[in-house]
């Protein structure tokens, strides 16, 4: 991602943190992470985040999704030190449609990004509105997409090791590069 695009996305993410009344330090605002997953269409498939803390045992992040932006399908496999990352998502602003393993939801309210349908395989929908949350246990597939207002979501988890996440879309590169 080019620096100029990064700065544009970063500024937009800050607007969502304000809508959600999430207070960040100046240092946190300066280093908002923009994940484009290497697909080159960040406003469609992407995620903006601040990592508050990531120790050997606990991680807490604040995520921003723009309207209809999708975090692509992935799972957190067994690691050398545990059975895999466990994540709880708590919605703070907007709506997030979370898809997990289980019976496909009829008339679901979100679809995978156009053209990427082959890389999405779980369609059991859990809809989270502000104050609602859901826990994803290790090694289970999940993906999520914001509704029309976008979303701000707190993530409480065990240690985060993004580089070990397994994406269904093998074209994905999780670790971003800003040129």
- The residues that touch a copy of itself, with contacts defined as CB under 8 A, are 20-21, 23-25, 28, 52-53, 55, 57-60, 82, 86, 88, 90, 92, 130-133, 135, 154, 156-158
Q: In angstroms, what is the minimal distance from the CB of 152 to a copy of itself?
A: 11
Residue nearer to a copy of itself on the CB measure, 82 or 149: 82
CA–CA distance, 72 with 42 (Å, rounded to integer): 11
Q: In angstroms, what is the minimal distance from the CB of 131 to a copy of itself?
A: 4
Q: In angstroms, what is the minimal distance from the CB of 54 to a copy of itself?
A: 10
Residue nearer to a copy of itself on the CB measure, 26 or 177: 26
Q: Diameter of the chain by CA atoms? A: 44
The 3-class SS string of 34-83 reads: EECCCCCCCCCECEEEEEEEECCCCEEEEEEECCCCEEEEEECCCCCCCC
Residue nearer to a copy of itself on the CB measure, 109 or 135: 135
CA–CA distance, 123 with 96 (Å, rounded to integer): 14
Structure tokens at 14: 């800050």
């Amino acid at each position: 991602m080019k620096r100029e695009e990064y700065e544009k996305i970063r500024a937009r993410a800050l607007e969502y943190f304000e809508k959600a009344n999430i207070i960040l330090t100046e240092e946190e605002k300066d280093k908002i992470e923009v994940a484009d997953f290497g697909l080159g269409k960040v406003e469609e498939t992407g995620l903006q985040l601040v990592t508050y803390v990531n120790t050997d045992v606990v991680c807490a992040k604040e995520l921003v999704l723009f309207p209809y932006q999708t975090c692509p399908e992935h799972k957190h496999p067994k690691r050398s030190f545990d059975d895999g990352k466990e994540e709880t998502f708590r919605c703070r602003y907007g709506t997030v449609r979370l898809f997990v393993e289980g019976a496909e939801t009829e008339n679901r309210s979100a679809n995978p990004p156009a053209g990427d349908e082959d890389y999405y395989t779980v369609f059991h929908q859990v809809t989270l509105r502000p104050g609602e949350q859901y826990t994803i246990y290790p090694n289970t597939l999940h993906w999520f997409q914001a509704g029309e207002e976008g979303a701000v979501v707190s993530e409480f988890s065990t240690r985060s090791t993004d580089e070990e996440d397994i994406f269904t879309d093998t074209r994905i590169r999780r670790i971003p590069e800003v040129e």
